[in-house]
Amino acid sequence: MSLEVRPLHDLFGAEVVGVDATRPITAEEFAPIMDAFDTYSVLLFRGPVMTDTQQIALSEHFGVVQVAFKANQTGGSMFSRQSNINFETNEIFPADNHRMTFLKANMLWHSDSSYMDCGSLCSILASREVPPSGGNTEVVSTRAAYERLPHDLKNRIEDLTVLHSLSYARDKMDMSILTDEQRDAAPPVKHPLVQVNPANGKKSILIGAHAAFIDGWSEEDSRDLLDELVERSTPQESIYSHAWQNGDAIVWDNRCILHRATPFESTKYRRHLERTTITDRSWVAAA
Ligand code: OGA
Ligand code: MN
């Protein structure tokens, strides 16, 4: 069965047309969605606003849903809440609340959970309440970026390993944002810099805000290369910027997509999206 898709950008990304992702999807219906995910790296579903239960059901087709990191408002559950709303009071957080700092950390290009040992296959970010303007989510393909790299640079990075660290990225924003306990719960982990999609052999680069060091390299040499790779991956014309409508849900492949939040009038408008982060089932079985 082929699926009707509408490309979002020349290089990657597709809207899946005619599938209501809030309804139960059979394994047979899911197979072409998974193929489209491996091909396009970013899938957009438009439909009714998802409930938490519906989002988990969609997520479980892709793999195993991770438990969110403790520092999130919904830490310990299957959701990472991206919101400027305090759910205890239903009010917008004041500008100086530390949650707002977390939202700012999302404005650096990153790949979700790259600081976790298991890494992540994909994230699903689904809208619950969106602002009338601003707050787009931007995504870019490091598969497309890898293809653009000069041959000698491809050779240079082929066998490198990168240390990813949550505190490294957060410290760039604000030294005091993580507690010692949160820091200890997320020690640096290693991932190959060049990732290979097993379904189609396409290579990509796993970089972004959590990528702290190249294994065995000095901080300065690591920064030079990692910053160069982010820069080469994110020229303006290679970015897809998603303007949220209520009911949108986006799936991105964390192995080959970098994403970031963009500003909006966060003391005036409400914005609430829920993210599930998913590990490939085969990685869990092998661990
Ligand atoms: C995320 C994220 C960006 C946004 O949910 O992982 O980075 O625009 N979100 O909220
Ligand atoms: Mn993110």
Q: Compute the average pLDDT of residues 79-95.
A: 92
- Split at pLDDT 50, 70, 90, the class of 76 is confident
Nearest Cα to 111, choosing from 73, 72, 162?
Answer: 162
- Split at pLDDT 50, 70, 90, the class of 72 is low
- Split at pLDDT 50, 70, 90, the class of 111 is very high
Q: How many CB atoms lie within 10 A of CB 194?
A: 18
- Please work out whether the CB of residue 125 comes within 6 Å of at least one atom of ligand 1: yes
Phi and psi torsions of 119, nearest 5°: 60, -155
The proportion of the chain whose per-residue pLDDT surpasses 70, expressed as a percent, equals 92
Interval 124-141: pLDDT, tens? 999 999 999 999 999 999
- Split at pLDDT 50, 70, 90, the class of 101 is confident
Alpha-carbon distance of 116 to 137, in angstroms, equals: 22
137: CA distance to ligand 1 center in Å? Answer: 7
Nearest CA to ligand 1 atom 10: 261
Strand order in the sheet with 161-164: 189-192, 161-164, 211-214
User: What ligand has the least distance to the C-alpha of 274?
Assistant: 1
Question: Which residues does 230 contact at the CB level (< 8 Å), separation at least 6?
Answer: 109, 207, 208, 258
Tokens representing 48 are: 């009714």
| Residue 224 predicted with pLDDT over 90 | yes
135 CA: nearest ligand 1 atom: 8
80 CA: nearest ligand 1 atom: 5
Q: Compute the average pLDDT of residues 15-33.
A: 96
Per-domain boundaries in the chain: 5-280
112: CA distance to ligand 1 center in Å? Answer: 9
Q: Compute the average pLDDT of residues 270-278.
A: 97
Instruction: For domain 5-280, give its CATH number from 1.10.3720.10, 3.40.50.300, 3.60.130.10, 3.30.460.80.
Output: 3.60.130.10
Comparison of pLDDT for 175 and 228, the residue scoring more: 228
At residue 240, the pLDDT reads 98
Mean pLDDT of all residues in the chain? 92
| Residue 175 predicted with pLDDT over 60 | no
At residue 44, the pLDDT reads 98
At residue 177, the pLDDT reads 61
Alpha-carbon distance of 276 to 142, in angstroms, equals: 21
- Please work out whether the CB of residue 19 comes within 6 Å of at least one atom of ligand 1: no
The proportion of the chain whose per-residue pLDDT surpasses 90, expressed as a percent, equals 79
pTM of the model as a whole: 0.94
